[in-house]
Structure 1
Amino acid sequence: MTAQPVLIGPVPLLYVQSISMTEGYQIQRISDSRFSQAIAPTRKAIAVEATLLGPERLVLKKSLEALALSSRLLVATAARTLAVTGIPVVCGLTISLDMQITDLRFSQSVQKRDALDVSISLEHVPRSNTTALIGEIADLALAAGTAIVGGPAAPSAVPAVPSVPL
């Protein structure tokens, strides 16, 4: 079984260590009542921790930096679809359109000279009601497809390590 890449715009991240999504909701008190209800999502954020490996790691780094530095106008000249939808994030957790990179951190260590660790924070920045609706439909389709095709996740193999008696 091969792992599917996480796509941040056109950039494939093949070695993702973790991905998390946070959603916030606006709570409104129902008039003349003691009850409240969630009326609208107010915030969606995605955090990705990944490793960039191999000779293309610096190209992937520059691609992520270009996405992060791009304003809406610059993105419009670079890619027409991003002018309408923002940066799409496609992974097993969600399909989210209209995302913008808010924080990008790279690190390298002596132990991993041929790799870069990257932390990416993205925030939902809606461009239009149409793209918000398309994104929600795509996310629902992902959930429905996973429920139909999926099953329980295969357990990770943990290698047996011989123990040394003390």
Structure 2
Amino acid sequence: MVKNKPNQGARKTETLTLRLDPKIKYTIELMARIKRQSITSVIEAAIESAAFDLDTPVLIEGKRETWSLSNAVSEFYTTDEAAKFINLCAFMPELLNYEEQRIWETIKATPEFWDENIESYLAPYHLRGLGFIDKFKIGAYFMSLTLHVEEHKDSRTIVPFDFVRRLPK
């Protein structure tokens, strides 16, 4: 019987392909045997342990704090891709890569994504000088927004998102 694969948004786990030194792979296999766990369980436990000990810069109400990566993930992780991106931008901006910085700067340069008068969001994102971010609008336009940034990747300046040209899909 063939089972339908769930769509990406419905997945409970993700697949990761790694290239490892053969000695490290052998070490992981032996650890799994000793602990009577799967290789996946051994790797997950090692990552969780490392995340607990890794300091991460977090921005809270405009002040830089240092949290463990484990605490930051617990606080800011969500299955909603747009909200996860906004959390990274708003609370851990030092960790953005170049492409993410371009998307974030495009959002900041587009007034339609911001409203100074919004008083009630389920999870308010208020950034000084910008107002409240409309996370629902960003979610609706997120794919179009990433395409817009890709189209303007060679521009020396940030090109604000054009709502008239882009309709959410």
Q: Given the two structures, how large is their TM-score scaled by the length of structure 1?
A: 0.22
> TM-score normalized by structure 2?
0.22
Structure with larger RCO (C-alpha < 8 A, sep 6+): 1
- The structure in which a higher percent of residues are strand is 1
